[in-house]
Amino acid sequence: MQLQVAADWVEAPLKAFVDEARAEVAVLMHPSGQVLGQFGFVRSVDVVTACALAAAIHASSGELGRLVEGKPFAGMHYAGPTKQIFLAPVEIADGTLLLLTVFDEESSLGLVQLFFKEFAARVAKVAPEFKSAEAALAVDFEGELNKNLALMFGRG
Amino acid sequence: MSSQFRDILGALIRHRGVKGCMVVGEGDGLIVDSTLQIGVNGTTFAALTASLFRKARRAAEAAGFGDAVFLELEAEQGRVCAVGKSGLVLVIVAESRVNVGLVRVEMLKATAGL
């Protein structure tokens, strides 16, 4: 399985996270759903779908957190019969990114949370350089989304 | 908050050289209860040791040896010991000078309470 990134700074932290946490799938994205890097998906349409769903879950759970706790929840974990997902925000200088992780019994929630912390620290260090160079949320969202997908999957 | 594992952990932490002990979920690697000295990173330790024990259990099964009973990891400056039952792992982290034989007996006895 190949790691695909839309920006160079994503590669090292995401690769380390996937290797250490033994994640099946890991997708780094903007809260808008714009993908920055991914591991585990083969088709670009699956990445787009996963990002859209993850962004929606994050928005919903964030509002639910504000409602019941006065602030957004820090992360979300769902355990299915064989696969589990962990979705958590990565705080960077200019805002927030999201990491969606899918893992199975080869890993555990504890391991994923442990290596997520390290991943978030690494991304926080390198992301500001990226942010100053390129807007996180482009006005032309669809164009930016397609550009990132083309960079990752080699299609225009 | 006191849990049903307080007595087990309290007995283990009193051994000379034991720096921390905890009950961890084998599947998720999260701490159920713990008694740790300052300087022991419980969350990290729990996640990694639970993973180690899970893999040791699978290795024992794959080798046809049955269930893993007792796991001991000897490092340069300390030891990690683990026993498991009912989806829980009882773990201690100790200095090299710890009496492993005694701790092992205590841990195996304690599995009845897991």
Give pLDDT, residue A128.
63
Residue B53 included in any domain: yes
Judged by DSSP in three states, A43 sits in coil
pLDDT < 50 positions in chain B = none
Burial category of A8 from C-beta neighbours within 10 Å (exposed 0-12, middle 13-18, buried 19 and up): exposed
Give pLDDT, residue B2.
65
Q: Which residue ranges make up each domain of chain A? A: 3-153
Q: What are residue A4's DSSP bridge partners?
A: A38
Q: Of chain B residues 84-113, which have a CB less than 8 A from chain A? A: none
Paired sense of beta strands B18-25 and B88-94, if any: antiparallel
Chain-chain contact of B29 with A105 (C-beta, under 8 angstroms): no
Taking only the tens place, the pLDDT of each residue in A121-145 is 999 999 865 554 454 555 666 777 7
**Interface residue B80 vs chain A (CB under 8 A):** no
Kindly report the CATH class assigned to A3-153.
alpha beta
Residues of B in contact with A21 (CB under 8 A): none
Distance CA A119, CA A35 (A): 17
Give pLDDT, residue B16.
94
Q: Tell which of B23, B44, B45 to mutate to test the A interface (max A CBs under 10 Å).
A: B44
Residues of B in contact with A111 (CB under 8 A): 29, 47-48, 51
CB B88 within 8 A of CB B23: yes
ipTM: 0.80
Quote the domain boundaries for residue B66: 6-113
Distance CA B26, CA A66 (A): 32
Give pLDDT, residue A20.
95
Give pLDDT, residue A139.
61
CB B26 within 8 A of CB B84: yes
Give pLDDT, residue A155.
57
Token pair for B100: 């492993």
Lowest mean pLDDT among A2-6, A33-37, A136-140, B44-48: A136-140
Residue B1 included in any domain: no
